[in-house]
Chain A
């Protein structure tokens, strides 16, 4: 009885992993297929799609833009999000609930809706300020900070809630002023949460399509948008090749991060 229940759970776990990983594995396999129209069995294996992806400059440029945007948005969002999460968890602010909802809001709004709203707002702002915002790096970064802040607030808040306050109290008791307590004790204890927040913020920004779609312009396109545009007139495994590179990058980042903080303990 217990045995068969154990078997059942095991197969359920295996099945859900298979379901989650199947598309990823498919993408990687397809990127090596020779034929242009995806079909089984493969006519042969090739690296030509990787070469093609490299030769089409929009992918390389998109990759660089995505990296830039994700890095800057993470660098801005993580400190702000951490500070906000700390203030929300510890200070007796009036309207805490409201601020918290506001900060987490972008996660609840569909990306396309938020993207459209931002686009219209940017257009307004451009006429007021008489300055380009859409299709600029700062415009994109500003939009992506709307992803990195909520993700950081969410992960750091979770860390703060699970944290034992007594080490901070001990520091205060030993003569540390509140800012010193934060820098010397709270922040080091939050490190796994902050690192995880940085990783997830980066990935969310790097992979984002919906929010970004309307905010890019010619010559300033992120990788996901470049992939979508390519899909509009070609449908060969080049995209699978680009996606495979992305998958490798994200996996590598996760593995490296995991060496420093055990992600499974944070998330």
Chain B
């Protein structure tokens, strides 16, 4: 149990740069999620912490110790692999005991700790099974117990839930989080599932093409995304290009004016208005003059939520709300009809427009 520091970590391969630069400090007991699209360098970063990949540049510190040159088996990290990586020729108990054996923990103590770890993941009744006789979720829990039983300084998980079905995923997710908090483990978890990251993590690191785009708590990232990439990757977001007409009013490219009181970033030309769909309130009818009006282009019923696709004189927006009740006139809104929109002008954020070519690679 220690802090984890990644200091200007970089990994180049012959042609590609897998990780351009990652700076991160995970505090003792903190769960940090690495989030980003496929190929952005999450796994590479995690494997540099575990020691499977030697960084091209930069340092990894666990506690106060620089472990950049330390081989894997001396790092004392506990890793959970995507495909579990259990030892197929050993029983569940032998799998869990392996790390203790390597640490030369004596037999009685070892057995006690194995039993304890298996009880922690609620598998004590399956100690003598072989891994192939377990379900995916059970195998995953064995992998957790095996990594936890050695009291690792940092706990590392690479998409630990991706092989589980949706229901089990939610369950194991809560279980991992509860264990991690109970044991106070400094944890780094890789995921490309934003919901998973938002629900589990104390802090998130959003990565894209080997770079860190933003680091923050789930709330910070959701409420205050640093750029268009983060806004669109974390949660759903309306992103409308345009310029700031005057403080408090944003002009879209098709000429519609939208209320917005957030501060404009440095350059005024090339702005994007970021507005979460659930912050947009829709009311049936044309409303009063001066109200924002929109035509409904599609209504998507999602059970608890309903989504409205809207057209504002050429600007498209999405609004979402909890599905209205039966007697609510909104319930019968159909494509082609008119709605009035409103939102708190402060919840619309202004972000610099992303220029694809501006990114060097």
Contacts and interface: CB of A to CB of B under 8 A. Distances in A.
B83 A174 contact: no
Interface in A175-195: 175-178, 180, 184-185, 188-189, 191
B104 to A, nearest CB: 9
B79 interface: yes
Nearest to B89: A188
Interface string A222-265: 00000000000000000000000000000000000000000000
Given A173-B77, A177-B73, A166 B150 contact: no
A175 B86 CA distance: 15
A170 to B, nearest CB: 4
B358 to A, nearest CB: 38
B103 interface: yes
B102 A185 contact: no
A167 interface: yes
Contacts of B102: 174-176, 180
A184 B73 CA distance: 14
B99 A169 contact: no
B73 A172 contact: yes
Contact of A175 (B52, B82, B85, B103): B103
Interface in B18-45: none
B253 interface: no
Contact of A173 (B79, B89, B103): B79
A173 B46 CA distance: 13
Given A172-B73, A173-B50, A173-B72, A166 B85 contact: yes
Interface in B83-103: 83, 85-89, 98-99, 102-103
Contact of A189 (B75, B79, B89): B89
A164 B87 contact: no
B81 interface: yes
Contacts of B81: 166, 169-170
B218 interface: no
A189 B73 contact: no
Interface in A145-167: 164, 166-167
B10 interface: no
B73 A167 contact: no
A172 B72 CA distance: 6
B83 A164 contact: yes
A67 interface: no
A174 B85 contact: no
B73 to A, nearest CB: 5
- Summarize A's interface: helix, strand, loop or mixed: helix
The interface centre, meaning the residue of A170, A171, A176, A177 with most chain B CB atoms within 10 A of its CB, is A170
B79 A170 contact: yes
B277 interface: no
Given A172-B72, A173-B77, A174-B146, A166 B83 contact: yes
Nearest to A174: B99
Contacts of A173: 50, 72-73, 75, 77-79, 147
Given A173-B79, A174-B150, A175-B103, A167 B87 contact: yes
Contacts of A170: 79, 81, 85-87, 143, 146
Contacts of A169: 50, 52, 72, 79, 81, 85
B77 A171 contact: no
Contacts of B86: 167, 170
A176 B88 contact: no
Contacts of B98: 171, 174, 176, 184
Interface string A102-123: 0000000000000000000000
A172 B85 CA distance: 12
A41 B77 CA distance: 76
18 contacts: A166-B83, A167-B87, A169-B79, A169-B81, A171-B98, A173-B50, A173-B79, A173-B147, A174-B73, A174-B78, A174-B98, A174-B99, A174-B102, A184-B98, A185-B87, A188-B87, A188-B89, A191-B89
Interface of B: 50, 52, 72-79, 81-83, 85-89, 98-99, 102-103, 143, 146-147, 150
Given A167-B85, A171-B87, A173-B79, 20 more contacts: A164-B83, A166-B82, A166-B83, A166-B85, A169-B79, A170-B79, A170-B86, A172-B52, A173-B73, A173-B77, A174-B78, A174-B102, A174-B146, A174-B150, A175-B76, A176-B98, A177-B73, A184-B98, A188-B87, A191-B89
Interface of A: 164, 166-167, 169-178, 180, 184-185, 188-189, 191
> Closest 7 CB pairs between A and B?
A175-B102, A174-B99, A166-B85, A170-B85, A172-B72, A188-B89, A173-B79
